[in-house]
Amino acid sequence: MSSHEDHHDAHDHDAWPPEGLRRRPALRTVLLLVIGAVFGAVATLTWTVAPSGRTVTAVVAAVDPTGSAMAVSAPEDLVDTGLGLVGVLWRDGEGEWQRTISADGYPTCVQPGDVDTTVRLGLVTEPGGPDRPPVEVVAWLECLES
């Protein structure tokens, strides 16, 4: 046997992992797979349940007596739609955004008697489900200064 063969045999005996033991994957590989799986799952969930949204400038046609819902005369696609206002984020002009009752006791800066007032609305369409249709709701309302 040559010295080269003896040297090669020595490395074979020192090989890792020993025969019968499996080599574990590198921690970095496992972490990358876990992170990929988590982000993949989140992206899939977000994609399938994420609402769509839009911002519109609207003209108030009527507000119910409690200030909790309104109808608009513009834009055209919202004319026959009642819009709930309870719990929406709102602000008056350039004021602070808030979710509290206004100084007049209404849920937002829109109140009964407001007609032809221009507002900006953040509308979100909740995608619905097997037993319910999609619905467009007000997420935020901004009373614009005239």
Domain residues of the chain, as ranges? 53-143
- HSE, side-chain direction, 13 A CA sphere, residue 20: 0
pLDDT, residue 17, reads: 58
DSSP H or E stretch at residue 40: helix 27-49
Q: Which residues pair with 136 in a beta bridge?
A: 125
What is residue 47's predicted lDDT score, i.e. its pLDDT? 43
Q: What is the pTM of this model?
A: 0.62
Q: What per-residue confidence (pLDDT) applies to 51?
A: 63
- Distance, in Å, from the CA atom of 59 to the CA atom of 74, rounded to the nearest integer, reads 5
* Per-block mean pLDDT, blocks of 10 residues, the chain (146 long): 54 58 63 60 49 90 95 93 94 94 94 95 90 90 86
